Amino acid sequence: KNEVEQSPQNLTAQEGEFITINCSYSVGISALHWLQQHPGGGIVSLFMLSSGKKKHGRLIATINIQEKHSSLHITASHPRDSAVYICAPVQGAQKLVFGQGTRLTINP
């Protein structure tokens, strides 16, 4: 069993839809990153959170440390949101453990 499980693995939606990507992990963590990776490889850190909720524009990330679960939400989705979204818990002081990613495609 992977230490980090994301669902769904692939998601296709229409522009404007509300998107939820889920992440469950089995390791003890100090924080969790949500990352965005576009074709070509570049990774952008969207959030790092250790409790509660964070919001940035149309993106919202939540985490429940006790349940070992985090979610990333996108409101009013847009085709430019199409990317791979990766959940990466921080194990110990330094090690990011990456999920396999969720490939999101938003159609106009």
Partner 1 sequence: ETGVTQSPTHLIKTRGQQVTLRCSSQSGHNTVSWYQQALGQGPQFIFQYYREEENGRGNFPPRFSGLQFPNYSSELNVNALELDDSALYLCASSFDRVYEQYFGPGTRLTVT
What span, in angstroms and rounded, lies between the C-alpha atoms of 74 and 94? 28
92 binds partner 1 (CB under 8 A): yes
Q: Which one of 21-29, 40-48, 58-66, 70-78 is the stretch in contact with partner 1 (CB under 8 A)?
A: 40-48
CB of 108 to partner 1, least distance (A): 26
What span, in angstroms and rounded, lies between the C-alpha atoms of 96 and 8? 21
CB of 14 to partner 1, least distance (A): 26
Q: Which one of 13-21, 57-65, 67-75, 91-99 is the stretch in contact with partner 1 (CB under 8 A)?
A: 91-99
Tokens linked to 65: 């440390």
Q: How many other β-carbons are positioned within 10 Å of the β-carbon of residue 32?
A: 25
Residues β-bridged to residue 56: 59
Tokens linked to 102: 């969720």
Q: What is the binding site for partner 1 (CB under 8 A)?
A: 4, 30-31, 33, 35, 40-45, 48, 86, 88, 90, 92-101
